[in-house]
Amino acid sequence: MTARCAWVAAAALLAAGCGDLSARTPGEKLWRARCAGCHGIDGAGNTPRFMSDPYADLTDDSWKSYGGDRAGLEAAIREGSFPDMPDFAELTSAEMRDLLDHIARLRGETP
């Protein structure tokens, strides 16, 4: 890859928000490290693998049919759900709270 191609690729990632590794909150850091690969940086599920999966979009209400309150969402994260979502049982209570707060922000809700 030429230096110009590498620069163009890096610029495209930065423009898409993928190059910003300095997350603003602990919840966003967790989101980017564990969730954004499938749910997208913005939570809308617009990733190549999951864009046709309505459950990957956490910004709409389709996920609420599985207990859309914080406790239901925490259970889904801790236990995993559907065949494609792994469990994250190892998250501490503080990490889970931070992650749930970030998801609420992605949805436009105040945590």
7 domain residue, yes or no: no
Statement: residue 103 has pLDDT above 50: yes
Higher-pLDDT residue of 64, 17: 64
The pLDDT of residue 53? 83
Task: Please give the residue range of the domain that contains residue 83.
Answer: 21-106
Crossing angle (nearest 10°) for helices 93-106 and 70-79: 120
28 domain residue, yes or no: yes
Strand (E) or helix (H) holding 72: helix 70-79
54 domain residue, yes or no: yes
Domain total of the chain: 1
51: DSSP letter: T
111 domain residue, yes or no: no
The pLDDT of residue 44? 93
Phi, psi of 87 (to 5 degrees): -90, 155
pLDDT digits (tens, 9 = 90+) for 18-67: 555 555 999 999 999 999 999 999 999 999 988 888 888 888 877 666 56
CATH for 45? 1.10.760.10
What lies within 8 Å, CB to CB, of 100 at 6+ separation is: 27, 70, 73, 74, 111
* Chain center to CA of 34: 7
9 domain residue, yes or no: no
1 domain residue, yes or no: no
Nearest Cα residue to 45 out of 106, 1, 98, 92:
106
6 domain residue, yes or no: no
45 domain residue, yes or no: yes
